[in-house]
């Protein structure tokens, strides 16, 4: 499978625990994005990387959230001290930095439930 891969697909955690999600983008894509989607809403931008550099972070990304892309390939998103309001689908996308015709390709998402 050469698409965007996210693991795990589902995660149930107790409030206060830390969780980490992984995203493997399409191999030649140098841009990687994280979005969060709650029920009935469209995805909201969290952060993006160009190669290993994190270039933009949304105000939605509180201090409890951190994302890394250490070698410009896969990325991890960690949430510390999870809260019930963190329950959502976390989506990863990748694209090429190639001008106006660069589509974003999304993974299947990680569904987080905080109980």
Do the beta carbons of residue 21 and residue 89 sit within 8 Å?
A: no
| Calpha distance 22→68 (Å, rounded) | 10
- The nearest distance, CB 8 to another protein, in angstroms, is 14
Specify whether the backbone of 55 is left (phi greater than 0), alpha (psi in -120 to 50) or beta: alpha
Tokens of 103: 């589509």
- The nearest distance, CB 84 to another protein, in angstroms, is 20
Q: Which is nearer to another protein, 18 or 109 (CB)?
A: 109
| Calpha distance 91→83 (Å, rounded) | 18
- The nearest distance, CB 101 to another protein, in angstroms, is 6
- The nearest distance, CB 33 to another protein, in angstroms, is 7
Q: Which is nearer to another protein, 45 or 74 (CB)?
A: 45
* Site for another protein, rule CB under 8 A: 4, 6, 31, 33, 35, 40-45, 48, 55-56, 91, 93, 95, 97, 99-109, 111
Q: Which is nearer to another protein, 78 or 97 (CB)?
A: 97
| Calpha distance 113→45 (Å, rounded) | 19
């Amino acid at each position: 499978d050469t698409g965007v891969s996210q693991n795990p697909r589902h995660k149930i955690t107790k409030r206060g625990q830390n969780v980490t999600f992984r995203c493997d983008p399409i191999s030649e894509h140098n841009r990687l994005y994280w979005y969060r989607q709650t029920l009935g809403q469209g995805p909201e931008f969290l952060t993006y990387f160009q190669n290993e550099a994190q270039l933009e972070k949304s105000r939605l990304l509180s201090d409890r959230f951190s994302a890394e892309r250490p070698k410009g390939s896969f990325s991890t998103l960690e949430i510390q001290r999870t809260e019930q309001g963190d329950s959502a689908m976390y989506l990863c996308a990748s694209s090429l930095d190639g001008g106006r015709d660069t589509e974003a390709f999304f993974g299947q998402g990680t569904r987080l439930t905080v109980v």
